[in-house]
Amino acid sequence: MRQNAADKAFDIVNYTLLTIVLIAVMYPLVFVVSASFSNPERVLNGEVWLLPKQLTMLGYQKVFQNKDILTGYGNTILYTVAGTAVNLAMTVAAAYPLSRRDFKGKKAIMLFMVFTMFFNGGLVPTYLLIKQLHMIDTFWVMIVPNAVAVWNIIIMRTFFQQSIPGEMQEAAAIDGCSNTQILLRIVLPLSLPILAVMVLFYSVGHWNAYFNALIYLTDRAKYPLQLILREILIQNQMNEMNNLTEESYASQVMNAETIKYAVIIIANLPVLLLYPLLQRYFVKGMLIGAIKG
């Protein structure tokens, strides 16, 4: 199609704005990667803008000198995989019946669920409940308290309602399929986009989680990666404050700078690698699952 002057002007403005947004989003990431491989003195002097200056692995070496890093990585991977599996199972188990037209009482159940999005018991009652359930300092304290998110149930329920024809489910029922068979053989195979969105949401949440570990875990062998990295940064800052000589203080400041950027990359690399694998499903799942309440 031929474009008139207004269309061309719109395209120019549109591409210009999108380019600015792209630069604004990408530059911090590029800078952090470059700074993590650069001489910390160059970073502190403001010489690093885009490309690394005086390549060095000092930050990564200092981070991985801490033996707890690998333990934290293993724990976080375990929490993320197990937690995401539980989250996905619970979300599907709640969203599927709520999407069925023949399920009585679904509006009342949905009302109670939505109520929990706005009101909760608070930290102290939650801690007392977790303690009474004997989950303090256990693996399950990182999984069970956040087993399901109501907002994700709403998104998945809406996807099932809008994308899975009721007639298809009725035909399967006539052919002798039970509700479980309809879910496993028809609904879930047609729901890959929304399942990918849920996997991304839940896995990122588990990967970045540290607050529950900070409150409920005391055994260092169970600490997730984020809590280990937090300790490294705090310990490094305390070492800075305790230095007396000007030379050692300057050295600690530079070490703190390079460790800070290395920690950011280490903590976020798995998530950055996961998103491209699910990106083709992400937009479709969000758009379809978000329409209509």
What the chain holds in terms of domains, given with CATH numbers, is 1-56 (no CATH), 58-290 (1.10.3720.10)
Q: How far apart, in whole angstroms, are the C-alpha atoms of residue 158 and residue 149?
A: 15
Q: How far apart, in whole angstroms, are the C-alpha atoms of residue 48 and residue 261?
A: 13
Q: What is the pLDDT of residues 167-199, one digit of tens each?
A: 888 888 888 888 888 888 888 888 888 888 888
**CB-based contact 181:172 (threshold 8 Å):** yes
Residue 227 clears pLDDT 70, i.e. is over it: yes
Q: Within its chain, how far is the Cα of 194 from the centroid?
A: 16
Q: What is the pLDDT of residues 239-261, one digit of tens each?
A: 555 554 444 556 666 767 777 78
Q: How far apart, in whole angstroms, are the C-alpha atoms of residue 259 and residue 229?
A: 10
Between residues 124 and 233, which one has the greater pLDDT?
Answer: 124
Res 72: pLDDT: 86
Q: How far apart, in whole angstroms, are the C-alpha atoms of residue 3 and residue 156?
A: 40
Query: What is the pTM (predicted TM-score) of this model?
Result: 0.77
Q: How far apart, in whole angstroms, are the C-alpha atoms of residue 281 and residue 285?
A: 6
Residue 93 clears pLDDT 80, i.e. is over it: yes
**Considering only CA atoms, which of 213, 211, 197, 194 is closest in space to residue 274?**
197
Q: How far apart, in whole angstroms, are the C-alpha atoms of residue 108 and residue 125?
A: 25
Res 47: pLDDT: 82
Q: How far apart, in whole angstroms, are the C-alpha atoms of residue 146 and residue 205?
A: 10
Residue 106 clears pLDDT 60, i.e. is over it: yes
Mean pLDDT of 123-141: 91
Question: By three-state DSSP, how is residue 291 classified?
Answer: coil
Residue 40 clears pLDDT 70, i.e. is over it: yes
